[in-house]
Structure 1
């Protein structure tokens, strides 16, 4: 007896399969007949099913005074099954966040800010006394499932006069915590991106990779900075982290034209840029990458398998027997849609991802569109 049986699931490849769920896990795949299930859902032919979408850079700690949101508002209601909060909390408040996350329908994980205060203020790395590595390590050890990595915001407005010292502390903490993934925010210099990239490699994620600031991955001539290229060759990954100030169509187009693709697509979403734009939600930004030349398969890979691998979420990101039953049901709608980068530049696309439902551990949540469309019949 299965808990849920999904019939006629259309995978990204176009292949059709049935998916059986039991005890929150994917239990069987293929053509499944002559079985009983508590709930059977037969999908319409236009509905795609992928591994659950993972937004690898969000700000969804509700009690953060600067950037905050409700995990479910950026998660299951938009087809996203897992959200990763990127540094809203540090050692001082991660316990509170971990407790709040338990009540969410969306799976919530956190990258621990290397500053103990998290985003209590904009310059959380300006006071060296707030970087307490033993305290941070204890926080990681208290929450081995919840804290999946570390976050260091390395821009001038954040670090004050501390230069590269916070990043060096982050790398030390990363080592002390069993080489946890480390996401590094790049913004305005100092420090320069070249100086940051020299310290990065395998296990590190450079977020805001297509920002349009002078401290961008491209030289003024439009070529990839050699220090960034070297870091990528050492294993550093590129993450979008669109946000309110960190994505340029010009930089993205120049980069992609040279074959420099982001490894992961994330939103850097919080309540203001969700409601007022330009982010709106992960699906909106995924759709934007159609206009930038990525395929359906490439886009889905960057919000499922790639981010799951980057953050070592071993039971997520794949439709494989034994993995978590986290699935996103969606259509690809053919309609004109306008996208705006963080510099006010726009592009118009002709199609978009339209999420219908999120299944987390076998539990179904319909999106607004899912409620109004007959996406399946039981």
Structure 2
């Protein structure tokens, strides 16, 4: 087991408080009983911040059997991510081939596109659902007792071909989500529909991902945040960062912060093209960007632990933690439009504990 001494942690309400001392239990094996397990004491700096349970990346793409965009599990663990939401990599037709994990907990959003993003960058045109296709989609949600086997919700991707297709996707997605009684996640970047038209059809618990994107269909209106979008968020619409390579704008994000629209979930939208590459790198890097722009530690804690845990229906892990510490080195945090925010440093994982065992330790920095 691992005992963390020093540093700061979060209380039940998400407030940052001095760490009273935290023991992380290891997973016992037949070869090693609890009495035989040694305790490793780790001394943390005063500035270190402990995220008990580890990070949950609400929106990324896992490598499955037949896609070319998903990422592997091992890199996630080393970055402190112990649970993820796979956001529409696979569709209702090839869901059985989706990415599986051994240590990282995973839940998925099934794409309304037949085969999801497995033919990326080619995105097929959506022409609607037949009755037989509706039945096949419903089968994926039939066994609600086996949470890891069925999707957590539906995903649609706007902005690919035309206004007509976007409207059909939105109407169909909303109808199917209501029929199945699951949330709908909407990819907003490049939408041919206005953000107002999109959110007016959504309900509390639905997810607007790439919420802070700066391209067509963004949430700005006359220089500020659209009142329609602000009202939808107040009524329970989920705002997901989904940073990615093309889905984040400082101009939009800063306007949103001024309007009090902080993200519900902080996520990377990781693919093979963005893993450990600018402007995403990893989840702690995205968190550093948003912290530098004004998000509080409480906002970040809820964004990478509490909210994604609730929305993905995951049980908190008592055998995991990630510890961040500050590295002073001038950073140029860029967005998809090339705009830059200068910051004095970056938060990075100095310790990652999974299954009660240290898998990353960089305490010398």
TM range (shorter): 0.7 to 0.9
| C-alpha distance 14-233 of structure 1, shift in aligned 2 (>3 A) | closer
| Equivalent in the alignment of 2:243 | 242
Distance in 2, Cα, partners of 1:60 & 1:115: 17
RMSD between superposed Cα atoms in Å: 2.7
Distance in 2, Cα, partners of 1:141 & 1:39: 44
Matched residue pairs, number?
A: 346
| C-alpha distance 190-335 of structure 1, shift in aligned 2 (>3 A) | same
| Equivalent in the alignment of 2:229 | 228
Deviation at 1:337, TM superposition (A): 1.7
The within-5 A match list for 1:308-347 is: 308-313=309-314, 315-316=315-316, 324-347=318-341
Check whether the contact 1:328–1:355 (CA below 8 A) recurs between aligned residues. Answer: yes
| C-alpha distance 82-188 of structure 1, shift in aligned 2 (>3 A) | same
| Equivalent in the alignment of 1:106 | 104
Distance in 1, Cα, partners of 2:5 & 2:40: 9
The within-5 A match list for 1:12-27 is: 12=10, 13-22=16-25
Distance in 2, Cα, partners of 1:24 & 1:114: 38
Greater Cα shift, 234-243 or 345-354 = 345-354
Listed one character per residue, the Cα deviations across residues 112-151 of structure 1 (whole Å, up to 9, x for unaligned) are 1122311134434523258923212212336522445224
- What is the TM-score of this pair, normalised by structure 1? 0.82
| Equivalent in the alignment of 1:189 | 191
| Equivalent in the alignment of 1:115 | 113
The within-5 A match list for 1:1-378 is: 4-8=1-5, 10=7, 11-12=9-10, 13-22=16-25, 38-46=37-45, 47-51=48-52, 52-73=54-75, 75-97=76-98, 100-103=99-102, 105-121=103-119, 122-124=122-124, 126-129=126-129, 132-141=133-142, 144-157=147-160, 161-177=164-180, 179-219=181-221, 221-313=222-314, 315-316=315-316, 324-366=318-360, 370=361, 372-373=362-363
Structure 1 runs of 4+ off > 6 angstroms? none
| C-alpha distance 123-227 of structure 1, shift in aligned 2 (>3 A) | farther
Distance in 1, Cα, partners of 2:172 & 2:301: 34
| Equivalent in the alignment of 1:31 | none
Greater Cα shift, 267-276 or 163-172 = 163-172
Deviation at 1:24, TM superposition (A): 5.5
Three-state SS of the structure 1 residue aligned to 2:243 is coil
Three-state SS of the structure 2 residue aligned to 1:328 is strand
Check whether the contact 2:212–2:218 (CA below 8 A) recurs between aligned residues. Answer: yes
Distance in 1, Cα, partners of 2:36 & 2:5: 15
- What is the TM-score of this pair, normalised by structure 2? 0.85
| Equivalent in the alignment of 2:31 | none
